[in-house]
Amino acid sequence: MNKHALVSLFAVAFLSLLASPLWAQTGAPMYVSKPGEEYFDFGDEPIRYIENDRVKVGFNLAIGGAVVYLEDKKNNSGNMINSYDWGRQIQLSYYSGPHPFIGPNGEKPSDSWAGLGWNPIQAGDCGGYGSRVLEFKIIGDDQAFVKARPMLWPNIGLLAECVFECRYRLIDNGFELEATIVNNRSDKTRYSAHGQETPALYTNAPWYKLVTYLGDKPYENEPTSTLVDLRDGNGWPWLNYYSPERWSALLNADNYGVGVFQPNSVRAAAGFAGGDGNKGQALGEKDSPTGYIAPHESIILDWNIKYTYRTTFIVGSLDEIRQTVYSLAQKEVKKTPAWEFKNDRQNWTYANTTDEGWNLQGKGLTFSLLPNESAIANSPDTFWQTKDADKLEITGDFAGSDANPVEKLTLIFTPVSPADACWYLQWSEGDKDSAKDRAEKEATHPRLPEFTVEAPLKRAVGGKGWTVTVDLTKVKEYEGAMRRIQIAFPPSEGKVNLKSLKFSKSAQ
């Protein structure tokens, strides 16, 4: 599904939820048992906590162990997390086909949510059924582990054929979430990539102000941008934007709150729902107005995939949040892109082809060529400066068929554009700006065109496979900042294998 089409479905579904939340009709969360599966007995009190001198984090074991409590103790924040329904909290949520998803016994989704497709969610479903915790444990003084069977949000009372595993670890001023989905779907269809929240955060109304960095000089302490503020009309529908520092924050009127750092995600959806009049009001976790941040990645979810990401939640002032991000980024963000396809796809996706599955076992990405159409492999969106990466090497086996051999690859580069700094204005959910407004913004913040580089193939040393080496200093369009590369294969037959793609700085 087109990313913006998927995002607009979130908007329609959210509006339906505000109008008539089904969970409120059903009361306390209910449960669906799976034969032979033992659930964790949380007793009479489902909430568990871990805390240090600065932060307190709480998990609700009645709804899949989702985070329902986050407090900045130093700044007396109280609970920042919204739990108006089981689609809020801090929690895992994933998307795949088909659309709509019909259960094994013909269980149809709610009409309001059918467009989301297969959507397992950590807390519960739109009807108020809570996801079931299989295992929970506190590890030492600073960690908790939750294993849960999620409900399918659109399909009331239906457990998903997957397991969520969450490891929460406190840091000085926040916590790290290591999130894993383990699929075991009976439907083995190879669905296309879908936009994923990695993960979703919902705050209470006092934390309404959305701040991030927009620009092409990340980690240089350049000025931040406030995307949602008091009485500005922004926030809902959600804003979608490109932020190469890979963090966003929801703050109160004093510029204190919570930030989300996802080292693999330069795109995010975020905002505030509930109207300008409720921004900053003293409303709580069961009130509807809410702030939202979700880092976004486009990911293929195979029927048997095991996929893990790590995200850090940081409390404090805007300066404290950003400086913590800078410290983490030094260890977690690559200055120069490099992808080695040893174990998984590294979040690459495709057009006009599919691969043979996520578990590569050291064999690289293998996918089919088409006789009448170009197969394309797409890198995830990222960020790099061309001055740091003027040499490119690609390895694999790209020979194609004997009758129609592959002799060259076409490399497609996407620059970081002035338009990326106002992407959120041009492409909010629902496109609320007029065509005239968007045209004016596009005129002052142009979209730089993609450009291509033809790369001839050469047999690798020793005759095993092929290699492509490109001197990018000779490509005049290759300057400034870049955010994506694609590899287009000429029409052919047979299969190709992609083992690695690495940018580097050439020797001077």
Residue 433: its pLDDT value, please? 56
For position 79, what pLDDT does the model report? Answer: 98
Closest listed residue to residue 497, CA positions, set 462, 453, 464, 451: 464
- Looking at the fold, whether 117 and 13 belong to one and the same domain comes out as yes
* H or E stretch covering 259: strand 256-261
Residue 351 and residue 326 in one domain: no
Question: Are 306 and 353 contained in the same domain?
Answer: no
Is 325 in contact with 248 (CB distance < 8 Å)? no
Q: In this predicted model, which residue has the larger pLDDT, 281 or 33? A: 281
Within this chain, do residues 184 and 316 fall inside the same structural domain, yes or no? yes
**CB proximity list for 508: less than 8 A, separation 6 or greater:** none
* pLDDT at 28 exceeding the cut of 90: no
The percentage of the chain sitting over the pLDDT mark of 90, rounded to a whole number, equals 77
Identify the H or E element spanning 441: helix 435-444
Q: Is pLDDT of 205 > 90? A: yes
Q: Is the pTM of this model over 0.85?
A: yes
> Do 344 and 249 fall into the same domain?
no
Same domain, 267 and 240: yes
Residues 293 and 403 placed together within one structural domain of the fold: no
Question: Of the candidates 297, 332, 367, which is a domain's last residue?
Answer: 332
**What is the predicted pLDDT for the residue at 4?**
35
Higher pLDDT, 34 or 449: 449
CATH label of the domain that carries residue 457: 2.60.120.260
Mean pLDDT lowest among 149-158, 198-207, 456-465: 456-465
**Same domain for 172 and 103:** yes
Considering 84-98, 400-414, 426-440, the range whose residues carry the highest mean pLDDT is: 84-98
**Predicted confidence (pLDDT) per residue in 288-307, tens digit:** 999 999 999 999 999 999 99
Tell me the C-alpha distance between 202 and 330, whole Å.
Answer: 27
Structure tokens at 462: 């020793």
Tell me which residue range forms the domain holding 422. 338-504
Q: With bands split at pLDDT 50, 70 and 90, how would you rate the model's confidence at 463?
A: low
Given 332, 352, 381, the domain boundary residue is 332
CATH number of the domain that residue 243 is part of:
2.70.98
- At 2 the pLDDT is 35
Same domain flag for 67 and 33: yes
Look at residue 449 and tell me whether its pLDDT is greater than 70. Answer: yes
Count of domains for the chain: 2
Say if residue 347 is in the same domain as residue 247: no
Domain end point (choices 272, 307, 332)? 332
Mean of the pLDDT values across residues 337-355?
95
Whether 7 shows a pLDDT value over 60: the answer reads: no
376 and 406, same domain (yes or no): yes
Distance CA 452, CA 475 (A): 9
Q: Is 85 in the same domain as 110?
A: yes
Provide the CA 10 distance to its chain's centre, in angstroms: 14
How far apart (Å, rounded) are the C-alpha atoms in residues 440 and 160?
46
Residue 367, classed as helix, strand or coil, is strand
**Residue 443 pLDDT:** 77
Confidence of residue 498 (pLDDT cuts 50, 70, 90): very high
Range with lowest mean pLDDT among 63-67, 319-323, 442-446: 442-446
- Which residues have a Cβ under 8 Å from the Cβ of 405 and sit 6 or more positions away? 399, 492
- The model's pLDDT over 238-291, given as tens digits with 9 standing for 90+, comes to 999 999 999 999 999 999 999 999 999 999 999 999 999 999 999 999 999 999
For residue 324, the model assigns a pLDDT of 98
Identity of the residue numbered 43: G
Rounded distance between C-alpha atoms, residue 175 and residue 188, angstroms:
35
Instruction: Find, among 348, 347, 346, 365, the residue nearest to 356 by Cα.
Output: 365
3-state DSSP helix/strand/coil % of the chain, to nearest 5: 15, 40, 45
Question: Does residue 403 carry a pLDDT above 90?
Answer: no
Tens digits of residue pLDDT in 84-137: 999 999 999 999 999 999 999 999 999 999 999 999 999 999 999 999 999 999
* Higher-pLDDT residue of 434, 318: 318
pLDDT band at 508 (very low <50, low <70, confident <90, very high): low
pLDDT score of 21 more than 90:
no
